[in-house]
Amino acid sequence: MAMRKKIILVFTAFATIAILYQGVLSATGLKKKWIREAMFYEKLPDGSVRCTLCPRRCIIPEGERGYCQVRFNKGGKLYTMTYGNPAAVHVDPIEKKPFFHFLPGSKALSIATAGCNLRCNFCQNWQLSHSTPEQTRNYDLPPEKVVELAKKTRSQVIAYTYSEPTIFYEYMYETAKLAHKAGIKNVMLTCGYIEPEPLKQLLKYMDAVDIDLKGFSDDVYRYVGKGRLKYVKRTAEIVRKSGVWLEVTYLVIPTLSDSEDQIRRMARWVVEELGDTTPVHFLRFHPDYKLTNLPPTPVKTLERARQIAMEEGLKYVYIGNVPGHPAENTYCPGTNKVCIRRRGFFVLENHVDSTGYCSVCKKHIPGVWK
């Protein structure tokens, strides 16, 4: 079996590049072509509609919008306002999403539109997620142009990320289909607030999903927009059963999601329902947006969370947003030595071959490696 050892020096090559794409619009007015009939809704007898895309299942009267602010009822039909008008377009290392067991060191053309179906008051992308498409500067980038841009920037992956990709579902779905035809992979970083039917349709074209947990209790989900944890768990379990690669991110927020009880229950659930080799990333919280009265998560808290998760049986547990921490590395299950060495979003060494085997001890490491 051919083994390979890669040392990738990437600090200069992988600085996040903002793509200056022709066709930037001002913050006023939406193009007609960005408005499309939604794929998932039901018409109700009184002229209102029920959106069936996410568990909120908003009932939207004529002329009104759903909770996410990007879907509206006109004439008894539901329309999305986020088809082809991303407000953020960047090339990022895949590690930034974060994905650690999915094509390490690859480039991901990353897109997002305005809007979100949660309301986290600590959101780091709030200028995007808490805006309407009329309030953001939007690029004119239909699905075929996204794929073209991915090729031009030599991105092996297109990532639907930053805000909440569920709310630009139709745009993501069509782009993902075209990307697969062109041999480009698709990944999604999501809060997991999506109904099973749209999720299952989408998974046909997804290669990896990262579920971004805000905590592990209904209290936390109520706090971030009257949500419920059970829907997020359901999404992760459907992804796992589908065979699409899954990683889990857990934002450790002091006083909100840092309790031993939440972390232990989360880790147990991952082991039992998703599998003990599912990578879990504990992310450090930084005060942002409206939640600035809390301190950044102490590194000790993150280390404790990692220890708890490993006690519960998880094999690949990472600490994120602490550049240089040893828990950024992947450790070989055979020798316990570093298999993939990272610093921040950058891969410095990679001893996993394209079939997922460690070149030193020949143990298999689950993931997508080619």
Residue 59: both structure tokens together: 């009932």
- Number of chain positions touching Zn ion (CB under 5 A): 7
In 3D space, the residue among 320, 302, 296, 345 whose CA is nearest the CA of residue 122 turns out to be 296
How far, in Å, CA of 43 to CA of 162, rounded? 31
In 3D space, the residue among 229, 196, 235, 199 whose CA is nearest the CA of residue 214 turns out to be 229
Window 107-146: contact mask with ligand SF4 (x via CB under 6 A)? ----------x-----------------------------
In the complex, the smallest distance separating the C-beta of residue 351 from Zn ion, rounded to whole angstroms, is 7
Element (H, E) at 93: strand 88-93
How far, in Å, CA of 36 to CA of 32, rounded? 8
The DSSP 8-state label assigned to residue 98 in this structure reads T
Binding range to ligand SF4, per CB under 6 A, among 20-28, 46-54, 248-256, 269-277: 46-54
- Of the pair 299, 360, the CB lying nearest Zn ion is at 360
- 67 lies in the binding site for ligand SF4 (CB under 6 A): yes
The DSSP 8-state label assigned to residue 155 in this structure reads -
- 352 lies in the binding site for ligand SF4 (CB under 6 A): no
Q: What angle do CA 209, 202, 283 make, to 5 degrees?
A: 20
**Order of strands, sheet of 330-331, starting from the edge strand that comes earlier in the sequence:** 330-331, 338-343, 346-350
- Contact residue for ligand SF4 among 81, 87, 167, 253 (CB under 6 A): 167
- Of the pair 108, 206, the CB lying nearest ligand SF4 is at 206
Window 286-325: contact mask with ligand SF4 (x via CB under 6 A)? ----------------------------------------
Rg of the Cα atoms in the chain: 20
- Contact residue for ligand SF4 among 14, 49, 71, 216 (CB under 6 A): 71
How far, in Å, CA of 320 to CA of 247, rounded? 13
- Of the pair 116, 340, the CB lying nearest Zn ion is at 340
- 66 lies in the binding site for ligand SF4 (CB under 6 A): yes
- 234 lies in the binding site for ligand SF4 (CB under 6 A): no
Binding range to ligand SF4, per CB under 6 A, among 22-30, 54-62, 148-156, 300-308: 54-62
How far, in Å, CA of 360 to CA of 351, rounded? 7
Determine contact, residues 140/31, Cβ cutoff 8 Å. Answer: yes
- 299 lies in the binding site for Zn ion (CB under 5 A): no
CA of residue 293 relative to chain centroid, distance: 26
Binding range to ligand SF4, per CB under 6 A, among 50-58, 240-248, 267-275, 315-323: 50-58
Look at phi and psi of residue 151 and say left if phi exceeds 0, alpha if psi is from -120 to 50, else beta.
alpha
Helix (H, G, I), strand (E, B) or coil at 251: strand
| Phi then psi dihedrals of residue 170, to 5 deg | -60, -40
Determine contact, residues 40/52, Cβ cutoff 8 Å. Answer: yes
- Contact residue for ligand SF4 among 54, 187, 188, 365 (CB under 6 A): 54
In the complex, the smallest distance separating the C-beta of residue 244 from ligand SF4, rounded to whole angstroms, is 21
In the complex, the smallest distance separating the C-beta of residue 304 from ligand SF4, rounded to whole angstroms, is 35
57 binds, among ligand SF4, Zn ion, none (CB under 5 to 8 A by kind): ligand SF4
- Contact residue for ligand SF4 among 6, 36, 57, 304 (CB under 6 A): 57
Q: Which residues bind ligand SF4 (CB under 6 A)?
A: 51, 53-54, 56-58, 66-68, 71, 117, 167
Q: Which residues bind Zn ion (CB under 5 A)?
A: 332, 334-335, 358, 360-361, 363
